[in-house]
């Protein structure tokens, strides 16, 4: 049954703005949908950089044409889009389709403003379960990911060669730390990452947190302490610079581009930049504590359909979404948005036929995890804020990793119990 009324107030938007403008992707008439099963359909997305006439805008229009309608597209920046979507639901002017940053899906879903994939009859059976989970809440699925990006470990091959480090030998935390010691011994710098006191800090810490086996519902577990101790020890030993405390993902990448660092934790969106450098670069998956690929958080958007009073519109909405989420559609999105990895096995195989050098990124996405997964939903931003606060406290030396995370767990428990 289509959900027909809102269950929560607009105030829920406050919690999600902290996670909006993050590592994935980052106009203008507003929505309102009235013509049933024909005419004009409204579409909102977070890509103002892709203007009318761009490859992306043309793809959207082509799916409208295939469905027999015209699409009126409006682009907002990520945070503004989430807030505008919530406001439009309150006013009864929701667009037919929204492309939404994945951590915000559960926020919109929790208000009752989104249809489920079951409501629309959308087939999600081929979507990778770990990616689909970011759009799930209380056993229901609210949309389909159009692709995903995530984090991995870039390396400077020249720096590693001078230090006698084979990147293939890095399989866990111990071998990575040994590599950092060797790089530092040559006078180069070991690793840079973003430990800033914002969502970006949590985003970059999560592969180590999850890679230790920690869970976001227990920030002060022994596994969590091991992960924060790893980062803190790297700073203490000089393997990572003090600047990581204030580094965003962009500033840490700028440090890597100086050519003085062995490694940098960063995302799919830096593939072209890495390839254009004067020094040789490569990429490996972020290792788990005891080996294997650590689960890294996913970036990227879901295509979702807000509830409409005129339910006759859903038939065409489904056709538009189906058009965007074919195997070819996923690969076209990957090419348009600088290496979004398709969320299906078929799409990943097709992408690798065109870009075999993206195999590490496909592996990383296959191991990735949504920040709001595990049914965290709208509690994630509250937990994340305490996590990045603990990271800041430990990296700065204000608290031990254990004390910082003990305080974080206490604050998170209080915040999420209200």
Q: What is the pLDDT along the chain (418 residues), one digit of tens a residue?
A: 333 333 333 333 334 444 443 444 333 333 444 444 559 999 999 999 999 999 999 999 999 999 999 999 999 988 899 999 999 999 999 999 999 999 999 999 999 999 999 999 999 999 999 999 999 999 999 999 999 999 999 999 999 999 999 999 999 999 999 999 999 999 999 999 999 999 999 999 999 999 999 999 999 999 999 999 999 999 999 999 999 999 999 999 999 999 999 999 999 999 999 999 999 999 999 999 999 999 999 999 999 999 999 999 999 999 999 999 999 999 999 988 877 999 999 999 999 999 999 999 999 999 999 999 988 989 999 999 999 999 999 999 999 999 999 999 999 999 999 8
| 112: region left, alpha or beta (phi > 0 left; psi from -120 to 50 alpha) | left
Phi, psi of 218 (to 5 degrees): -140, 80
Q: Tell me: do 65 and 91 sit in the same domain.
A: yes
Domain count of the chain? 2
Q: Tell me: do 338 and 225 sit in the same domain.
A: no
Residue 26 is predicted with a pLDDT of 33
Which helix or strand (DSSP H or E) is residue 98 part of? strand 97-101
Residue 14 is predicted with a pLDDT of 37
What count of other Cβ atoms lies within 10 Å of the Cβ of residue 352?
A: 16
The overall longest dimension of the chain from CA atoms, in Å, is 68
Q: Is residue 49 part of a domain?
A: yes
Q: Is residue 344 part of a domain?
A: yes
| Structural domain harbouring 221 | 157-296+376-416
Q: Tell me: do 385 and 250 sit in the same domain.
A: yes
Residue 3 is predicted with a pLDDT of 31
Q: Tell me: do 334 and 253 sit in the same domain.
A: no
Q: Tell me: do 305 and 385 sit in the same domain.
A: no
Residue 120 C-alpha from the chain's centroid: 25
**Rounded CA gap, 3 and 112, in Å?**
6
Residue 11 is predicted with a pLDDT of 35
Q: Tell me: do 115 and 167 sit in the same domain.
A: no
Residue 79 is predicted with a pLDDT of 83
Q: Is residue 185 part of a domain?
A: yes
Partners of residue 71 on adjacent β-strands:
41
Phi, psi of 29 (to 5 degrees): -100, 155
Residue 13 is predicted with a pLDDT of 37
**Rounded CA gap, 172 and 289, in Å?**
5
Q: Is residue 79 part of a domain?
A: yes
**Rounded CA gap, 77 and 368, in Å?**
25
Residue 38 is predicted with a pLDDT of 57
Q: Is residue 407 part of a domain?
A: yes
Query: Among 347, 366, 385, where does a domain finish?
Result: 366
Residue 53 is predicted with a pLDDT of 93
Output the domain CATH number for residue 67.
Answer: 3.40.190.10
Residue 6 is predicted with a pLDDT of 34
Q: Tell me: do 246 and 383 sit in the same domain.
A: yes
Q: Tell me: do 354 and 283 sit in the same domain.
A: no
Q: Is residue 257 part of a domain?
A: yes
Q: Tell me: do 44 and 77 sit in the same domain.
A: yes
Q: Is residue 214 part of a domain?
A: yes
Q: Tell me: do 169 and 32 sit in the same domain.
A: no
Q: Is residue 5 part of a domain?
A: no
Q: Tell me: do 343 and 399 sit in the same domain.
A: no
Phi, psi of 299 (to 5 degrees): -110, 165
Q: Tell me: do 380 and 356 sit in the same domain.
A: no
Residue 188: CA atoms inside 13 Å, Cβ hemisphere, count?
Answer: 29
End-to-end Cα distance, the chain: 30
Tokens of 134: 């970011």
Partners of residue 41 on adjacent β-strands:
71
């Amino acid at each position: 049954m289509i959900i027909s009324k809102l269950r929560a107030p607009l105030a829920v938007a406050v919690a999600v703005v902290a996670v909006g403008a993050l590592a994935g992707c980052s106009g203008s008439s507003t929505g309102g949908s009235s013509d049933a099963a024909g005419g004009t359909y409204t579409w909102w997305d977070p890509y103002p950089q892709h203007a009318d006439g761009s490859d992306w805008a043309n793809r959207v229009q082509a799916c409208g044409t295939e469905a027999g309608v015209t699409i009126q597209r409006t682009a907002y920046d990520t945070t503004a889009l989430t807030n505008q979507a919530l406001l439009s639901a309150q006013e009864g002017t929701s667009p037919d389709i929204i492309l939404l940053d994945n951590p915000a899906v559960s926020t919109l879903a929790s208000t009752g403003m989104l249809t489920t994939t079951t409501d629309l009859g959308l087939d999600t059976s081929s979507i990778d379960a770990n990616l689909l989970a970011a759009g799930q809440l209380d056993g229901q699925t609210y949309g389909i990911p159009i692709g995903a990006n995530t984090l991995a470990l870039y390396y400077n091959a020249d720096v590693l060669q001078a230090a006698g480090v084979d990147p293939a030998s890095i399989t866990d935390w111990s071998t990575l730390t040994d590599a950092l010691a060797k790089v530092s011994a040559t006078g180069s710098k070991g690793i840079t990452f973003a430990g800033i006191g914002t969502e970006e800090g949590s985003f970059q810490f999560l592969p180590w947190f999850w890679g230790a086996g920690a869970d976001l519902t227990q920030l002060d577990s022994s596994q969590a302490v091991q992960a924060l101790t790893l980062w803190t020890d790297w700073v203490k030993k000089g393997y990572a610079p003090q600047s990581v405390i204030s580094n965003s993902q962009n500033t840490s990448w700028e440090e890597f581009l100086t050519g003085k660092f062995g490694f940098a934790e960063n995302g799919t969106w830096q593939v072209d930049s890495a390839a254009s450098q004067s020094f040789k670069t490569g990429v490996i998956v972020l290792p788990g504590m005891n080996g294997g690929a650590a689960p890294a958080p996913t970036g990227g958007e879901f295509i979702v359909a807000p509830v409409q009073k005129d339910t006759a519109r859903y038939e065409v909405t489904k056709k538009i979404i189906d058009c965007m989420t074919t195997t070819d559609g996923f690969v076209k999105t990957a090419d348009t948005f600088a290496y979004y990895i398709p969320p299906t096995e078929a799409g990943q195989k097709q992408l690798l036929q065109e870009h075999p050098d993206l195999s590490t990124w496909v592996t990383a996405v296959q191991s990735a995890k949504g920040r709001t997964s595990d049914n965290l939903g709208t509690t994630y931003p509250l937990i994340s804020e305490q996590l990045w606060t603990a990271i800041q406290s430990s990296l700065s030396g204000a608290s031990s990793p254990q004390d910082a995370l003990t305080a974080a767990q206490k604050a998170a428990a209080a915040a999420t119990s209200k």
